[in-house]
Amino acid sequence: MAQATKTRPDADPTQQRPLRRGRGLYSSAVGKKYVMAITGIVLMGYVLAHMVGNLKLYQGAEHMNAYGEWLREIGEPAAPREFLLWVMRVALISAALLHLHAAWGLTRLNWAARQKRYAKRSDYIAADFASRTMRWSGIIVLAFVLFHLADLTFGTANPDFEYGLVYQNVVASFERPVVAVFYIVANLALGVHLYHGAWSIFQSLGAANPRFNALRRGFAIAFTLVVVGGNVSFPIAVMTGVVS
């Protein structure tokens, strides 16, 4: 009977303070992984759209700056200027904050789950470089995003910044080699993050189906190559003088 198993010796180590407290979906690690996956999809949609939009760099200053202006105008006259832009910004910032908060909660749980580490370094069989470095690749991308905003949105990190001149600001930014190298390194980190994340989403959302499982890795690789390939081409184009 169930009652018979309730009394246990005090020394039972499994009766220690539980790693997880609270109930409800978000207090559970499985729930946090759903949040990681869904906010991950939102952020993936953004990085893809951001890369595609920036391809206008290759069409010249007029197209690029008009695209920047169009982003502020979407929704006019039904909505005020920049209204939909701010809706998107708020959604993105919320997704990023939730992604970070869930990651922090999961990380703390995982640290608590193995307080005494192996003396001999684990000889991993399946866990790849990308899956084991998600925290580091994520932190690099976060640091880059903060700089990137200061550089090209607020303009505080770009001495030649002029509001509205998107094309000129990008070219001026990438003409500083340190910025261009940081941009490329951060995009490679983003690629490593996406390589595991875009695959991992399906597993976290419980979308496993024998018909599609083999395609999940291919999707992650293709998505990563498209986004990182497009992004990395921009500083290279500026540095080699293709775009000036």
- Please report whether residue 125 would count as binding another protein according to CB under 8 A: yes
Determine the interface stretch with another protein among 89-97, 140-148, 200-208, 227-235 (rule: CB under 8 A).
Answer: 200-208
- Please report whether residue 113 would count as binding another protein according to CB under 8 A: yes
- Please report whether residue 109 would count as binding another protein according to CB under 8 A: yes
Write the interaction track for another protein spanning residues 130-149; mark x where CB under 8 A is met and - where it is not. -xx-x---------------
Quick one: which of 56, 99, 193, 196 contacts another protein (CB under 8 A)?
196
- Please report whether residue 1 would count as binding another protein according to CB under 8 A: no
CB of 24: closest distance to another protein in angstroms?
8
Nearest-angstrom CA–CA distance, 144 and 187: 9
Site for another protein in 12-71 (CB under 8 A): 12-14, 18-20, 23, 25, 28-34
Nearest-angstrom CA–CA distance, 109 and 191: 26
DSSP-H helix ranges across the chain: 29-54, 61-73, 83-113, 129-132, 134-152, 166-174, 177-204, 213-239
Site for another protein in 207-226 (CB under 8 A): 207-208, 210, 213
Nearest to 188 by CA among 152, 231, 217, 238: 231
Nearest to 61 by CA among 239, 240, 238: 238
Q: Which is nearer to another protein, 174 or 199 (CB)?
A: 199
What distance lies between CA 92 and its chain's CA centroid? Answer: 11
Which residue shows structure tokens 């939102």? 42
CB of 184: closest distance to another protein in angstroms?
27
Residue 167 contacts residue 64 (beta carbons within 8 Å)? yes
